[in-house]
Structure 1
Amino acid sequence: MALQTEAECLLDTGVLYGVRVMLRPPLGDPIFAGFKQGAFSLYYGDGPIYHFDREGRWQRAFIHGIHYLKGLDTTIQAIDRVREGVNMVLKRRTLFFAEASDLDASIRATALDLLEALSSGRLKRADPPSKAQPLSSDELYDFLGRIVEWDATAWFAHREKYLATYGVLPFLPPDSQNALILQATLGHADGIAFGGGAAAPHYQRSIPEFATHTREVAKLYGQRLLQYRTLFLAGSDVLRRPNDEIVALLETIARSELCATTGEAPRLEAVHAFLDNLASPRPTLEQWRTYRQLQLRRVTLGVESGDPTVRGLYRKAWENSDLVALVSDLKQADIAIGLMVLIDAGGAEHAERHLAATADLINTLELGKGDIVSLLDANEFRDPEQQAPNVTPLAGLRWTEQQAALKHALLPLRSNRGVKVVPYSLEKQGL
């Protein structure tokens, strides 16, 4: 008996696709089409595979063994599995404009071809089991028409709208990668970016400006909002604004279209934020509790190093006691915590002291289940135009050994307290 293709399996068991159908052409693999929460998918046998938002914009594709991700900014990442020695590793790259345009046109042509096949009656329908709702030919035809509307002109107009809505995007903490982004502040306060990265001009939106921005973001995303449950409130100093402004920002989000709860409308369940400067003044415990009531559920903290001298290389002046007190307040307020830690912040000159001090400090924090410690490569953050003084970056085997040593030193967090300790690369954000 022949094995079922992915398309055939989804028709029978794809419960996430509440509305679905399979189409059999005279020759070739069957085609699965289905709607799930906020999305639509096409599977041609085991591939190619295409995923779209409800606006008809393609988001992900799997073609000839390569995964493609299209961002809301219209850039496309290609992800391929390649062998390096005995290991298989993922390699990412951003497509050049001509490549991206060709891929957009190819996916649009796929929808056109399917429309023509539907119109000609060449496809034989197979409906799903009785508990699922069949996708009617009219519904499928209408949605394919929506996909076809996304030609080069439409993508260009969308790109312009995106650039008018967002400033330079912030680095997203690893635990907020799939969040919808709102920018209450842009750039970097005092010209200081996490990890010695390139700093962008700083600007704080007023509350009315933020409300306008929120509406513009909702329009930009359209029905793609249905896919989101988490919102990232940028930038790195937003939680250092006055308390009444932070409350107003969170209340603006709560009143917005983003948090509507009727029918299939978007429903955001959690707000995440990043804090890079941990020094006083900071929100009080009672203020953190207020933010928690307004859906702030996770705060990620930038911790280049547990050694004050090494942190000073990155122009950070907060004390270890600041981090200890801040983590304690967040835990008492029932707000989950993320830590961003640089594996090699001290370079070759301070590698040992950085490793020991960082492990000691993090192991003393009141972290527990649901908290995440992300280990990052300092070389991916440093602005090459402004290298930290007297630091020789680690590379190759020396860097790998430092990563392994830090993971081992933090093992008690994982084994005894359920904290996730995970390596992370900026490649996953396409930076």
Structure 2
Amino acid sequence: MIRIAITLFLFSKIAQAEDLTVRMRTRGVRVLVGQGVDVFVDVPARDRRPKLELPTLRDARMWPVEESFRPMGMSAIGETVASDNVFSTRLRLVATAPGRLDVPPVAARLDERSGRSAPLRLTAENPPVAGRPPGFLGGVGDFDAWAEVEPAQARVGQEVTYRIRIEGPGAWGMTTRPGLDRLRALAVEPRVEDRPDETTDEPPERAFVYRVRPMKPGEVVLPPVSIAAFDPRIGRYITRATNGVPLKVVAVPAFDAGGLDYHPPSPGISPWRLAAVVGLIVGVLAVLGLVAFRRRVAKWLRRRLVGGRGARRYAGEAARRFHKSDGSGDDPAQAAIDALIEYARLGVGRPPGALTPEEAGAAVAGASGSDELGRRAAGLAARCDRVLFAARGPDGGRDESDRLRRDAQELFEALGRGGGRGRGWRVSGRRTNAW
């Protein structure tokens, strides 16, 4: 009896550990690079779906898309009825490089049971070269394309976000960015910087994102961009053009005292009443002017005594950071712009934000009392803008980065010593500038 019980126990364990049958299939063995193809994984089971473990692919991407099942039959033991089902999972596979594509087995697991499919061997080919238009970005399949900009109105020097959106199967393989030569040639002199793509696998979507900074005022239309993809259904390339996007760039208006309109008093007013009104207005304005003058003097003294020391202290720390930098850390152009923004905030109370070369020169000259240092700061900011927003060479602009780091160090060393010779007068034995 003991031997029989042991035999039954071992038999039940063997039945529980029975391997699952896993089948992986696809339509055809030849695919195009960038084309999305369906791969199906079928696993027969009872009433629960097995868990799949997808392999890691070298020259392709694969992700699950849809799950379904279909009944195969039913069996009854006493009053218990059980049904057999085939659980199917649809996967999407996109090849990223040409050549032989080996898809490793897919593993399935359900409690103690497990199984693996046979591997798939596919051949990936590039889309045909014949008839390929210049706007081909690597996509295979139909797609729609359009463009948008946010905000649609900006000031000179303000950054806007420009997106080229792609929807449809062609978006899976579009890994090459479109050319924007026509946009860079606009009259507002935009500086264009690439930002990371925004992608979604299901439904297929891709957005090429750019940061655009116009440097001159005007009303322009960001020109349409032609984008092409290969359509395997018709066996030829198709081209879509995005819409043109209007952009208005305005300059910050300067104060014009001549634009003020002073109306003469009504001819019917009494001279004595007019004199009383004028005297009252003059008295009120005198009191307000005195209060404003006192506040301005107090603000100026506080900025000179507190803000000046803070700005010089920060300049000394910035100079030491540039001296210790070996080029392996942050971009020296961005670091110099950030340091000028912080120095302007501490020295003249300028709010943080994008800093043009003219603003950098005015802030440094006002905080240090040196027109020469202001001109050096403006030149440094202009060179940083060219490095940040212009296309770099294969060496990444290493020589220019080193020169920027040295020039920034020398400028902030001079600012840390208290500025240089320039306009201003002495207050309590120290030379300073007018507020």
Q: TM over 0.5, yes or no?
A: no
Q: Which has the higher helix share?
A: 1
Bigger Cα Rg? 2
TM-score of the superposition, structure 1-length normalised?
0.23
TM-score of the superposition, structure 2-length normalised?
0.22
